[in-house]
Amino acid sequence: MTISGTTAAEIAGSVRDQVSSGELAPRAVLPPVRTLAAELGVNRNTVALAYRRLVEAGVAETRGRGGTVIAAVPQLAREGVGAGGASTDLASGNPDPELLPDILAVVRRGRYRRPLYGVPAVDPGLAEWASADFAEDIEQPFRTLVAHGAVDATERLLNAHLARGDLVAIEDPCFLASIGTLRLNGYRSVPVRVDGAGMRPDALRAALEDGARAVVCTPRAHNPTGASLTEERAADLRAILAGHPQVLVIEDDHFSAVSARPYHRITPPTTARWALVRSLSKFLGPDLRLALLAADPETTARLEARLSAGTTWVSHLLQHISRELLLDPAVHELHERARETYTHRSGLLVGQLHAQGIEVPHRPDGLNVWVELDVDGRSVADALGQRGWAVRPGHVFVPDGSAHRGAVRVTTSTITEPQAEAFAAELTSVVADLRAAGA
């Protein structure tokens, strides 16, 4: 590699040329600032600035003591990856398709007027429904918008307010797509540990003191742990956030309509930039790609400016279908059934694990049960896989994926009583084998 130039722009340009030509491959380590500065006969600050620009542009990454390296396309874990072959799939993180409404049945219902360029970005009937729903939980002035699901909403919100390299506080363990969104957009994550009542206040305080410019928090049915904020915990987090009014607060209430827990708000009234996001994926279906969001007026103005352009337009056909479903009493009955069914199914597994002496310390809400173990989660998932059970090992949900985590996530959205019983017995036997082997 021969990097040339005497200004920061020239040095950064020379590196970019070599990345384009393939001379510099992904993960190649750039020379230390001091070495390159001496070689080129320039000030160290000039090289440091060139490297910073490369990081901001997503061309390079800083690895602390590992130096600056050429960025590679991130390898990201994602939801929906379940069992191969003959395994029983307790890994997917998916809702039960039987508990989702028939989308096609409502396509021709109501008024859909072939919207053309220039229509308002949000379907008025859907906006009205969403505003009434959000008004029950939000006291600040807000406006409602749509996005292509919660993951897209989170990305749009972060991109509206943050710059590459900014720190974002996320839960540890964390929903896979949030980890992915941060990595793909060049934000740095600050993990905030989660216990049975949600984000831990001491960990959130530390993340904010470390300079986090945004917080992404799941108020209930946290994925992967199933934790929901208690009223007391939400009040503690709100008090901490009140000391940082400039920090963007995103609440990802992804399980809203089918959650068995009440929503407790963590956004203080003094926070300037905030959003409450409610995905429709878990109760109308992930393929609708729709989430409703309420946010402060400045944030909604920023997001709305992009809603009528190119691929960021959220189709009115999807909005029309969502509106018809959300106004349908039969769909609300289905949600009631889904809520009870998911609670019952996770309870089946928790009960069977308890019978085997494996305790899940809190009653989970959502589609998953998080089982903490004193043996390596990877080894447990591998051994279960060999016995025909697919689960996700805990380490994939850790923002710093290299960290060990003695846990597995078990998706219970479709689990039956015999499956729960058989799985609990298999898990017990696998853990005993691993303990005996000293894993």
Residues that bind ligand PLP (CB under 6 A): 79, 93, 149-151, 175, 218, 223, 252, 254, 279, 281, 286, 291
Alpha-carbon distance of 174 to 179, in angstroms, equals 7
Alpha-carbon distance of 251 to 14, in angstroms, equals 42
CB of 224 to ligand PLP, least distance (A): 8
How many DSSP H helices and E strands does the chain contain?
Answer: 13, 15
CB of 392 to ligand PLP, least distance (A): 12
Please spell the DSSP secondary structure of 269-321, one letter per residue. TT-SSEEEEEESTTTT-GGG--EEEEE-HHHHHHHHHHHTSGGG---HHHHHH
- Two structure tokens written together for 355: 């019978």
CB of 278 to ligand PLP, least distance (A): 9
* 228 Cβ contact list (under 8 Å, min separation 6): 197, 198, 219, 220, 221, 222, 259, 261, 365
Alpha-carbon distance of 425 to 375, in angstroms, equals 16
Nearer to ligand PLP, 203 or 221 (CB): 221
CB of 2 to ligand PLP, least distance (A): 44
Nearer to ligand PLP, 150 or 326 (CB): 150
CB of 223 to ligand PLP, least distance (A): 3
Nearer to ligand PLP, 197 or 291 (CB): 291
Nearer to ligand PLP, 33 or 291 (CB): 291
Alpha-carbon distance of 222 to 368, in angstroms, equals 9
Alpha-carbon distance of 42 to 270, in angstroms, equals 47
Q: In one letter, which amino acid is 320?
A: H
* Sheet with 407-411: strands ordered across: 368-372, 407-411, 392-393
CB of 412 to ligand PLP, least distance (A): 14
Q: Which residue is nearest to ligand PLP, using beta carbons? A: 149
Nearer to ligand PLP, 5 or 394 (CB): 394
Q: How many CB atoms lie within 10 A of CB 106?
A: 18
CB of 14 to ligand PLP, least distance (A): 39
Nearer to ligand PLP, 82 or 286 (CB): 286
Nearer to ligand PLP, 50 or 199 (CB): 199
